[in-house]
Chain A
């Protein structure tokens, strides 16, 4: 890259020109910002304004540009200059929109604008042009693990979009659970009659698809690499291992039924006439094949009465069984009741439920079953007694509030779904640690747990996708399904959350799209969600590294391994660019080309801090760019004014905040520092899963530093912000500003 040439542009549009003195902003950029080229423009985002910038880049050799106009979140299509390093000073949402247009406010508003110009000039000089991840892979094949309905749908959808697919199924046939169903819940108007399970059609389409390579009786023995260049070793039953190069992975390993043997009080195991939903499907298939009505297992007599027990071992608040709802069982029981009613309307079919939940068009199906004469009773089953060839179902009728009982030839338990999500990583890692210490029991545990592993990832953090709630592989990415904590690997179907067939098909289609996006971005050296398209990636100065391992441990996505010499080994393609490693590094050797300890540090230092007699405090706000910064922008949009003494710097995540920024700011005479990050903890809202949590943990250590500096701990405030806090956030800023003013100026001013 040629020598750095800087340029600053100040826009006068959107009232900026009327509200602040642009001429002095230009002066600040030239004199203090030391920009080689400074221009003002009436309407910078217009074609003419953009052409002006492009002209400077092409003909003046400008390599670094700072644009003082609207928020960096606005006009991103106009201000898109990929060949140069660029930053934006937020003069519109960050200054004029959050300040009242009055004569008294004019002075502080002007000071605010000048500071943002200083900050953008300082920042851009510390930036480099991101060149994109060079260690990228360009393999576009998608690996789908699991040949059930979700997996087959993902495979077909990816293939339809023109991508090659490797489909791995552990059993000898495609189809998964759906193949075991006699019929499926209706998918078409008028949603009254069960339909063919549709598996044969999907299998035929997969077999006819040249883009899809199927491995049956196969498991993933080993997965290594990163998005764009994964290597999957596929162990086939015959003992042969095939190696496939793939760009992204979709895990569609589905679910198992909750083990009904854990429900002896509901008669399972005590009478052959008590079955789970899979057992009933098997009976129905058997009967249909023989052209006979469904018969009870105990003596082969035709079933004349059947009771369906919903929520068997589910929605259990005692902690003994599943605590969640599996989502599909109500519709499934309705469907199974119609098997009986459609063959003989005189068969008594009773569904005992506490809350009937029929997602999709299940409500129509429910009504159809009622019309067929299926009886639905709101009741909780306490016990199922086996007496010879019949069963007595004891239950409490919740409407009539009385204990009662029903006799039945057959009892069907809706036991719900347990995800096939591989071992729980925390437990596994703990067992591995104990086993390495020589614990024999732990060794056996490790072997058992590893037997359940789906992907066998060769990652530092463990062989599989971490579990989230109830053992499901969901990542709890707000608004972003399919995303997991392992970049380029997407989970779909009931392994992600409880769902029915219709939802799984939709889900699998979405996962295929995400996988395609991942391979395409990886191929271009760009980041995946949530900074999709970001060309920067973490760079490390290994000569300064002390091997403290904080980065490798803290990376929420398992992107950093360790090499033989115990140095961090970055897998850039697995990185989400959150900067948590950068925030963690105590020696500050990790940085991004356009986001580093220096780019933020330079901004902090660039702010003009007035002396203690001016009564103009300075409060630094480090705001998460995912929630807090947009919330501040929207506060501006709504003209929700806030204190003129705050200076906001967007950060990629609270996790990327390095404590040096805080100490630098307080040493530099700032009177307070406010950190704005997303909710952390179990129901976190952090876009990078653990970023805000780790950031907060680190900040708790800063309080000790504050004490050693003889500063009040209130000088640092951490606030939890959601993107919707548009009205409350300015109020919280103002409250804090009052608090800071009451504390008096920082003793470090002017030192």
Chain B
């Protein structure tokens, strides 16, 4: 259990709804759900293969104060960001964003399963994008290909070899990006400072003790 998790659990005690409202991005929308189930009904995943809780159940669990069940749920990561629920919600709840917000919060609390692919992609993407100020496609692809080990990564790489060479020929892909050389943005340092400031503001807004996080 992370320090932050302990900190939050203590601070909000039994009021998990308030915790989500204050700590998770878009969490303030959870109370507006009216349990019609249109979000779940609209979801193109149809909750196959192991969705434990569809969105309106997640919302209900939060209101019922079931902290562990929500933070350990895999529901939030199943979202494909198609935005069907967002568009259709009669209460105009930004369901997609709320799900992302809760997923991010669960991750922060150290609860997301390590091999969860959606979470892995998000994490890799974020690290990659913030490191260079823009996405380094070669490194992003590499980290996804080698997620399940060296052999699996090489196999996947060979499978996609022709596509990659085609992209290189068409000058759509710069192999040197693998070494961190290639397109960069101006004032990378400025971007990093901006992000640092944003983290600081977020922590301030959410009342988190950053020294422990």
Residues of A within 8 A of B (CB): 356, 366-367, 370-371, 373, 375-378, 397, 399-400, 404
| B-chain residues with CB within 8 Å of residue A404 when the two chains form the complex | 64
Asked if B60 and A377 make an inter-chain contact with CB atoms under 8 angstroms apart, the answer reads yes
Asked if A370 and B31 make an inter-chain contact with CB atoms under 8 angstroms apart, the answer reads yes
Name the one of B31, B35, B63, B64 contacting A371, with C-beta atoms under 8 angstroms: B31
| B-chain residues with CB within 8 Å of residue A366 when the two chains form the complex | 34
Name the CB-closest residue of A to B65: A375
Name the one of B32, B63, B91 contacting A377, with C-beta atoms under 8 angstroms: B63
| B-chain residues with CB within 8 Å of residue A367 when the two chains form the complex | 32, 91
The reply on B57 being an interface residue by CB < 8 A is yes
Name the one of A356, A370, A397 contacting B32, with C-beta atoms under 8 angstroms: A370
Distance A377 CA – B63 CA, assembled complex (angstroms) = 8
Distance A370 CA – B59 CA, assembled complex (angstroms) = 13
The reply on B61 being an interface residue by CB < 8 A is yes
The reply on B17 being an interface residue by CB < 8 A is yes
Name the CB-closest residue of A to B59: A399
Asked if B60 and A375 make an inter-chain contact with CB atoms under 8 angstroms apart, the answer reads no
Asked if B64 and A400 make an inter-chain contact with CB atoms under 8 angstroms apart, the answer reads yes
| B-chain residues with CB within 8 Å of residue A378 when the two chains form the complex | 35, 60
Are A399 and B57 also in contact (CB < 8 A) when A367-B32, A370-B31, A373-B31 are?
Answer: yes
Residues of B within 8 A of A (CB): 17, 31-32, 34-35, 56-57, 60-61, 63-64, 91
Are A375 and B31 also in contact (CB < 8 A) when A367-B91, A400-B64 are?
Answer: yes
Are A400 and B57 also in contact (CB < 8 A) when A367-B32, A373-B31, A376-B34 are?
Answer: yes
| B-chain residues with CB within 8 Å of residue A356 when the two chains form the complex | 34
Distance A404 CA – B64 CA, assembled complex (angstroms) = 10
Other contacts beyond A367-B32, A367-B91, A373-B31: 16, CB < 8 A? A356-B34, A366-B34, A370-B31, A370-B32, A370-B34, A371-B31, A371-B32, A375-B63, A376-B35, A376-B63, A377-B63, A378-B35, A397-B60, A399-B35, A399-B56, A400-B61
| A-chain residues with CB within 8 Å of residue B34 when the two chains form the complex | 356, 366, 370, 376
Distance A270 CA – B61 CA, assembled complex (angstroms) = 31
Name the CB-closest residue of A to B60: A399
Distance A366 CA – B60 CA, assembled complex (angstroms) = 17
Can you give 8 A-B contacts (C-beta < 8 A)? A371-B31, A373-B31, A375-B17, A376-B34, A376-B63, A399-B35, A399-B56, A400-B61
| A-chain residues with CB within 8 Å of residue B60 when the two chains form the complex | 377-378, 397, 399-400
| B-chain residues with CB within 8 Å of residue A375 when the two chains form the complex | 17, 31, 63
Closest CB of chain A to B95's CB: distance in Å? 15
Name the CB-closest residue of B to A350: B63
Asked if B31 and A377 make an inter-chain contact with CB atoms under 8 angstroms apart, the answer reads no
Distance A345 CA – B91 CA, assembled complex (angstroms) = 23
Name the CB-closest residue of B to A400: B60
What 3 pairs across the A-B complex have the smallest Cβ distances? A399-B60, A378-B35, A370-B31
Name the CB-closest residue of A to B15: A348
Distance A377 CA – B35 CA, assembled complex (angstroms) = 8
Distance A370 CA – B93 CA, assembled complex (angstroms) = 12
Distance A68 CA – B31 CA, assembled complex (angstroms) = 69
Name the CB-closest residue of A to B90: A363
* A370, A377, A399, most chain B CB atoms within 10 A: A399
Distance A376 CA – B91 CA, assembled complex (angstroms) = 14
Name the CB-closest residue of A to B29: A370
Closest CB of chain A to B18's CB: distance in Å? 9
Distance A370 CA – B34 CA, assembled complex (angstroms) = 9
Distance A404 CA – B32 CA, assembled complex (angstroms) = 22
Distance A397 CA – B63 CA, assembled complex (angstroms) = 12
Distance A267 CA – B91 CA, assembled complex (angstroms) = 34
Closest CB of chain B to A407's CB: distance in Å? 11
Distance A404 CA – B31 CA, assembled complex (angstroms) = 20
| B-chain residues with CB within 8 Å of residue A399 when the two chains form the complex | 35, 56-57, 60
Distance A377 CA – B57 CA, assembled complex (angstroms) = 11
Distance A400 CA – B56 CA, assembled complex (angstroms) = 9
Distance A375 CA – B34 CA, assembled complex (angstroms) = 10
| A-chain residues with CB within 8 Å of residue B17 when the two chains form the complex | 375
Distance A453 CA – B35 CA, assembled complex (angstroms) = 44
